[in-house]
Amino acid sequence: MSRKRMVATAAMLAGALMLTACGSSPTGSGGGAALKIGFMGDLTGENSGIVIPPRNGAKLAVDEYNATNPETPIELVVYDSQGNPDQAVPLTQQAVQQDQIVGMIGPAFSGESKAVGPILEQAKIPSVSASATNPGLAQNGWVYWHRIVANDNDQGPGIAEFLIRAESPDNAFVISDDQEYSVGLADAVAQDFEAKGVTVERDQFAQAASDYSSTISKVTAANPGVVVYGGYYAQAGRLLKQLRDAGVTAVFASGDGSLDPGIISGAGASAAEGAVLACPCNIPFGATTGPLAEFSERYRAAFDTDPAIYATEGYDAATLFVDAVKAGNTTPDAINTYISGAMLDGVSKKIAFKPNGEPDVNAIFIYQVKDGSLTLLGPSTEATLG
């Protein structure tokens, strides 16, 4: 088989797969012809755990809208890119040319967003991502691109400024392992601390290490007001356990990579108690009153599970499109104009966009381990430690 024919066959096969993939999730109902809104992200791959919740959130918003029997119902078309830019590109072309979507929620990740952005921009299709946090995405001059979450550059300062307000430490100890995300976050936190006059000491260990005794002796010698770890929950849990075992009682804080129940099982419930975690995402962990609790209730009723990471952002992204359609906008251009100027009092936060598509306010949310489970304290500018 010639190379050309192989490619053609592969493309046909892929096309057939896509048809089955998106044919399975029409949610349209009601009167007139449904407008199609796409949702793109990793729904079956290794990171689907952080894309299925925003998909559910988006579906909830669309279903709630369609249940009101509107004149123009919305059909949510789901595209499973597996988070892979190579799959996202042909899926987007299909969405634009064949399915004629008028808007896109996603893509969920930064890599696929970067690949897909030019296509959507050229086709003038508005998009809102609920979870792509790479800072570079906003620097492409895209007019039709938006995101709801703060970018990676905002998380470090968010953590540092919250800790300064909550604990007013004289000195901080900032730790990371040797992974890119980890070092980047630790650098950002340390820079912001130093800019605000907090003395910073640093240490770094290997990702695969399990004995952190040399790091611990540095921390005990420095006797810091706060300890910040940039990194993922597995290492954060082990580090936190060894810190507490060595009698370090300073507040321990980390970022979104550690916002996982795994940090509690890794450190042990007593060592993990009181740990502070930050995320650009708003997860209604432990919300019992207000709009977040109501949202959790509706989400649970629809999907039989608690809302997890980016669920509220997915709901808000879909709500933007729903509101645009409600306001009588049915063409991609009109919808984009509406969204770009929208002021939405969303479930996750108040949403408005800068001209470059970034959220107007870079909200970081603070969580704390309380009674052995993760609890939302609120936005970093308002939260107080329990």
Binding letters toward another protein, positions 194-233, x by CB under 8 A: --------xxxxx-xxxxxxxxxxx-xx------------
CA gap 233, 254 in Å, rounded: 9
CA gap 347, 114 in Å, rounded: 27
User: Does residue number 250 form part of the binding site for another protein (CB under 8 A)?
Assistant: no
User: What's the token pair of residue 144?
Assistant: 């039709």
User: What's the token pair of residue 213?
Assistant: 């005794």
Cβ proximity to another protein: between 260 and 358 the closer is 260
Question: What is the closest distance, in whole angstroms, from the C-beta atom of residue 182 to another protein in the complex?
Answer: 11
Relative to beta strand 365-370, strand 276-279 is antiparallel
Cβ proximity to another protein: between 10 and 221 the closer is 221
User: Does residue number 373 form part of the binding site for another protein (CB under 8 A)?
Assistant: no
User: Does residue number 249 form part of the binding site for another protein (CB under 8 A)?
Assistant: no
In degrees, to the nearest 5, what angle opens at C-alpha 172 toward C-alphas 169 and 177? 150
Question: What is the closest distance, in whole angstroms, from the C-beta atom of residue 238 to another protein in the complex?
Answer: 6
Binding letters toward another protein, positions 167-196, x by CB under 8 A: -----------x------------------
Interior/surface letters 323-358, b for 16+ CB within 10 angstroms, e for the rest: bbbbeebeebebbbebbbebebebbbbebebeeebb
User: Does residue number 130 form part of the binding site for another protein (CB under 8 A)?
Assistant: no
Cβ proximity to another protein: between 124 and 202 the closer is 202
User: What's the token pair of residue 104?
Assistant: 């896109």
Question: What is the closest distance, in whole angstroms, from the C-beta atom of residue 312 to another protein in the complex?
Answer: 26
User: Does residue number 268 form part of the binding site for another protein (CB under 8 A)?
Assistant: yes
Q: If we measure between CA atoms, which residue out of 64, 87, 89, 62 comes closest to residue 76?
A: 62
Residue with tokens 């949610």: 27
Cβ proximity to another protein: between 102 and 216 the closer is 216
Cβ proximity to another protein: between 25 and 47 the closer is 47
Cβ proximity to another protein: between 260 and 313 the closer is 260
CB contact set of 105 (below 8 Å; sequence gap of 6+): 37, 38, 39, 40, 54, 58, 127, 128, 129, 130, 314, 317, 318, 321
User: Does residue number 68 form part of the binding site for another protein (CB under 8 A)?
Assistant: no
Question: What is the closest distance, in whole angstroms, from the C-beta atom of residue 220 to another protein in the complex?
Answer: 6
Q: Are 342 and 336 in contact (CB under 8 A)?
A: no
Cβ proximity to another protein: between 212 and 367 the closer is 212
Interaction site with another protein (CB under 8 A): 178, 202-206, 208-218, 220-221, 234, 237-238, 241-242, 245-247, 262, 265-266, 268
